C-alpha cells in the first residue's frame, strides 16, 4: 500500500482528496487530508519521513513556503518561487516541487492559441499563487508583465526577483493610488495592447461577491476594470490615431482566474464582456494534480485521457443521502435528482437487482456480515459516478471505508428523523425491515432508538443535515437544493 496526503489549514475545502481518489480508483493507494498547524509542521514532516508507506504530500495554504526548510532537495522552480506544493519521498530524501507552474503552463497552452512570447500580460495579486504565475510567464518569454497588487512592496519585491531570473521580460509593479480608477494612465499607455490578464487573488471566492455590484466595490478591480473601460478601443473604431491613444485587447486574449470554486467568477464574467476568453482555475488544479501524480509514480499511460472525466467529476461530484430506514431517502432522492437533473441510484435496489433477492431475503439467508460485504462491493462500483444522487442504506455508513470515501469525493446529506416518526412511517409503509421483523410495537420503537443511537454519530458527519419530521419530500428537497455547496 502506498499513501499520500494533502496538508494545510484549513483543509476541509480541498478538492485534492476527490481528485486523487478518482485517479487511484481500484489501485493500492490511499489518500487523506490532514489539518496541520504551523507549529505542528516539523513533527508532521518527521513522521512523514518515518512512514514507509507515505510517498508524497500535497501542500497548501499556509505551508507552501514554510515547508521548504524541512526538505532535502528543491526543484529549480521551488528555488526561484520559494514555494512548494508537492513533496516526493524517494530513497529517504524529500524533494520539493512546484506543480502549480505546470498547471498554469498547461492551462495557458490549452486556451491561448499561438505563442505568448513577446506579448503583454497583467497579473492581479502578488501572493504565493502569483509567484507561480510569474515564473510561468517568464518561462513563456512574455514581452511585458504588469503586476497589480494592493500592497505595493510585495509586487515590487516580486518584480525585482523576476527581473533577475527572466531578464528578457520587462517586469513592472503597478500599485496605483487612485482608488476611483479615473487615472487610467496608471495602467495603459498609448498604443498598448495585451493578450492575457490573470487574477491570482482570492477576490471573487465568497458567495456575497458574486453580484457584479458587490464585485465592483472591491477597490483593486474597480481600478483595473474602470481603467479598461475608459481606455478601451474596439476593433471597428481602430484608426491609426486611436491606436496611439487607446489600448487594445488582442484577438484571442485570455482572462484566467485561478479561483476554482466557484468556477464562474465575477472577474471572468466581466472579462467576457470585453471579449476575452474566460478560463477558470479548475483545469489548473487538475493539471497540477496530474503533474504531482507523475512525480510520485512516474509517467502513467493514458493519464491525459483522465483529464476530461476528472473535470466532469469535479464539476458534478456525487451527492449521497443518508439517514435511518424510513427517513425518506428513496423518495427524496428521486425528487432531488429530477430537480438537479442528476441520475438517481438507490443502493438497496442496486443490491436487490444484483442478487436477485430482496434485502430481507439476503439478511435471512446470508446474515448481516455478508450483506455488508455485498453492499461495499456495489458501493465501490457507483461512488465515483458524476452527476448522481445515491441513496444509501440505513446501515451503509457503519463501514468506515465507505464513510471515508464519501467524505473525500462528494457531499453527504443526512435526513434526520425522530425515532417516533420513523416507527410511524415504517408501520404505515408496511414494508419488511430485516432488522425489525417479528418485533411488537414497543420493542420496535426501542430497537429503532438503539440502532439510531449506534449510527447517529456517522450520520452527523454529513455536510448538510435536514430535519425531516414535519416536512414533505418536496420541502426536504427544496432545503437540500438551497444548502448545497459544490
Ligand atoms: P495569498 O498568498 O494569500 O495571496 C493573496 C493575494 O491576493 C495577495 O496579492 C493579496 O494582496 C491579494 N488580496 C487578498 N485580498 C485582497 C483584497 N481584499 N483586495 C485586494 N487584494 C487582495 O494567496 P494565494 O496562495 O496566492 O492564492 C490566491 C488565489 O489563487 C486563491 O483564490 C487560491 O484559491 C488560488 N489558487 C488556485 C490554484 C489552482 O490550482 N487553481 C492554485 C493555487 C492558488 P496583498 O499582497 O495586498 O495582501
Among protein residues, the one whose CA lies closest to atom 40 of ligand 1: 285
First-to-last C-alpha distance (Å) of the chain? 30
Nearest CA to 408 out of 129, 113, 3, 14 is that of 14
Using one digit for the tens of pLDDT, what is the confidence trace for 245-295?
566 778 899 999 999 998 988 889 888 888 899 999 999 999 999 999 999
The answer for 298, left when phi > 0, alpha when psi is -120 to 50, beta otherwise, is left
Residue 232 has pLDDT above 90, yes or no: no
Residue 88 has pLDDT above 90, yes or no: yes
Q: Compute the average pLDDT of residues 123-148.
A: 94
SS3 content of the chain, % helix, strand, coil (to 5): 50, 20, 35
Helices marked H in 172-273: 212-216, 219-231, 240-245, 266-273
Residue 442, Cβ density class (10 Å: 0-12 exposed, 13-18 middle, ≥19 buried): exposed
Q: pLDDT over 90 for what percent of the chain?
A: 67
Helices marked H in 298-438: 307-315, 329-339, 347-355, 359-366, 368-382, 400-409, 419-429
pLDDT at residue 28, as a whole number:
87
Residue 330, Cβ density class (10 Å: 0-12 exposed, 13-18 middle, ≥19 buried): middle
| Average pLDDT taken over every residue of the chain | 88
Nearest CA to 469 out of 319, 321, 340, 324 is that of 324
Q: Give me ligand 1 centre to Cα 129, in Å.
A: 7
Q: Give me ligand 1 centre to Cα 33, in Å.
A: 22
Q: Compute the average pLDDT of residues 202-227.
A: 66
- Whether the Cβ atoms of residue 295 and residue 56 lie closer than 8 Å to each other: yes
Q: Give me ligand 1 centre to Cα 251, in Å.
A: 28
C-alpha 55/C-alpha 49 separation (Å) is 9
Using one digit for the tens of pLDDT, what is the confidence trace for 174-203?
765 444 444 444 556 666 778 999 999 888
Q: Compute the average pLDDT of residues 404-409.
A: 96
pLDDT at residue 184, as a whole number:
42
Nearest CA to 389 out of 462, 329, 328 is that of 329
Q: Compute the average pLDDT of residues 382-404.
A: 97
Helices marked H in 356-418: 359-366, 368-382, 400-409
pLDDT at residue 149, as a whole number:
84
Q: Which residues make beta-bridge pairs with 35?
A: 8
pLDDT at residue 182, as a whole number:
43
Which residue among 125, 174, 282 is best mutated to probe the pocket of ligand 1, counting the most ligand atoms within 8 A of its Cβ? 125
Name the band, by pLDDT with cuts 50, 70 and 90, for residue 307. very high
Q: Give me ligand 1 centre to Cα 125, in Å.
A: 6
Q: Which residues make beta-bridge pairs with 151?
A: none
Residues with CB under 6 A from ligand 1: 61, 100, 103, 125-130, 149-151, 154, 200-203, 205, 218, 220, 258-260, 281, 284-285, 288
Q: Give me ligand 1 centre to Cα 28, in Å.
A: 35
Q: Compute the average pLDDT of residues 69-96.
A: 97
Q: Give me ligand 1 centre to Cα 211, in Å.
A: 20
pTM over 0.85: yes
Tell me the backbone φ, ψ of residue 286, rounded to 5 degrees: -70, -45
3-class DSSP assignment, residue 252 = strand
Which helix or strand (DSSP H or E) is residue 320 part of? strand 319-322
Residue 416 has pLDDT above 90, yes or no: yes
Enter the C-alpha cell of residue 479. 432545503
C-alpha 78/C-alpha 165 separation (Å) is 13
Residue 148 has pLDDT above 60, yes or no: yes
Residue 231 has pLDDT above 80, yes or no: no
pLDDT at residue 178, as a whole number:
43
State how far Cα 85 lies from the chain centre: 15
Amino acid at each position: 500500500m502506498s499513501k499520500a496526503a494533502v496538508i494545510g489549514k484549513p483543509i476541509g475545502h480541498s478538492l485534492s482528496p476527490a481528485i486523487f481518489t478518482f485517479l487511484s480508483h481500484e489501485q493500492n493507494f490511499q489518500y487523506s487530508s490532514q489539518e496541520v498547524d504551523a507549529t505542528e509542521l516539523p513533527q508532521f514532516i518527521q513522521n512523514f519521513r518515518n512512514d514507509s508507506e507515505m510517498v508524497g504530500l500535497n501542500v497548501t495554504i499556509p505551508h507552501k513556503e514554510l515547508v521548504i526548510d524541512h526538505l532535502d532537495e528543491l526543484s529549480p522552480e521551488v528555488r526561484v518561487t520559494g514555494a512548494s506544493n508537492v513533496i516526493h519521498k524517494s530513497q529517504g530524501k524529500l524533494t520539493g516541487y512546484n506543480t502549480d507552474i505546470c498547471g498554469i503552463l498547461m492551462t495557458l497552452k490549452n486556451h491561448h492559441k499561438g505563442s505568448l512570447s513577446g506579448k503583454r500580460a497583467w497579473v492581479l495579486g502578488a501572493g504565493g499563487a502569483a509567484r507561480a504565475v510569474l515564473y510561468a510567464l517568464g518561462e513563456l518569454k512574455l514581452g511585458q508583465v504588469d503586476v497589480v497588487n494592493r500592497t505595493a512592496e510585495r509586487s515590487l519585491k516580486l518584480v525585482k526577483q523576476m527581473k533577475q531570473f527572466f531578464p528578457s521580460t520587462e517586469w513592472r509593479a503597478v500599485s496605483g493610488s487612485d482608488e476611483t480608477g479615473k487615472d487610467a494612465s496608471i495602467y495603459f499607455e498609448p498604443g498598448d495592447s495585451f493578450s492575457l490578464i490573470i487574477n491570482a487573488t482570492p477576490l471573487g471566492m465568497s458567495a456575497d461577491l458574486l453580484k457584479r455590484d458587490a464585485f465592483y466595490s472591491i477597490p483593486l478591480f474597480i481600478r483595473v476594470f474602470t481603467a479598461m473601460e475608459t481606455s478601451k478601443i474596439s476593433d471597428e473604431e481602430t484608426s491609426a490615431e486611436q491606436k496611439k491613444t487607446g489600448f487594445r485587447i488582442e484577438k484571442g486574449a485570455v482572462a484566467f482566474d485561478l479561483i476554482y470554486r466557484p468556477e464562474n467568477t465575477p472577474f471572468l464574467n466581466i472579462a467576457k464582456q470585453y471579449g476575452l476568453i474566460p478560463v477558470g482555475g479548475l483545469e489548473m488544479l487538475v493539471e497540477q494534480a496530474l503533474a504531482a501524480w507523475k512525480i510520485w509514480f512516474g509517467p502513467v499511460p493514458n493519464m491525459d485521457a483522465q483529464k476530461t472525466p476528472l473535470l466532469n467529476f469535479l464539476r458534478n461530484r456525487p451527492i449521497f443521502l443518508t439517514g435511518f430506514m424510513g427517513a425518506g431517502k428513496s423518495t427524496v432522492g428521486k425528487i432531488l435528482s429530477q430537480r438537479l437533473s442528476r441520475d438517481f441510484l438507490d443502493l438497496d435496489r442496486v443490491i436487490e437487482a444484483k442478487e436477485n433477492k430482496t434485502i430481507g431475503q439476503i439478511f435471512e439467508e446470508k446474515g448481516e456480515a455478508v450483506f455488508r460485504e455485498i453492499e461495499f462491493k456495489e458501493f465501490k462500483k457507483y461512488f465515483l459516478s458524476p452527476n448522481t444522487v445515491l441513496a444509501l442504506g440505513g446501515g451503509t455508513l457503519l463501514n468506515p471505508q465507505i464513510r471515508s470515501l464519501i467524505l473525500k469525493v462528494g457531499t453527504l446529506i443526512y435526513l434526520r428523523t425522530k425515532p417516533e416518526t420513523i416507527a410511524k412511517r415504517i408501520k404505515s409503509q408496511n414494508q419488511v425491515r430485516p432488522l425489525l421483523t417479528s418485533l411488537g410495537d414497543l420493542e420496535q420503537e426501542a430497537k429503532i432508538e438503539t440502532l439510531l443511537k449506534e449510527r447517529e454519530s456517522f450520520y452527523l458527519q454529513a455536510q448538510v443535515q435536514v430535519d425531516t419530521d414535519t416536512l414533505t419530500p418536496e420541502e426536504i428537497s427544496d432545503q437540500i437544493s438551497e444548502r448545497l455547496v459544490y
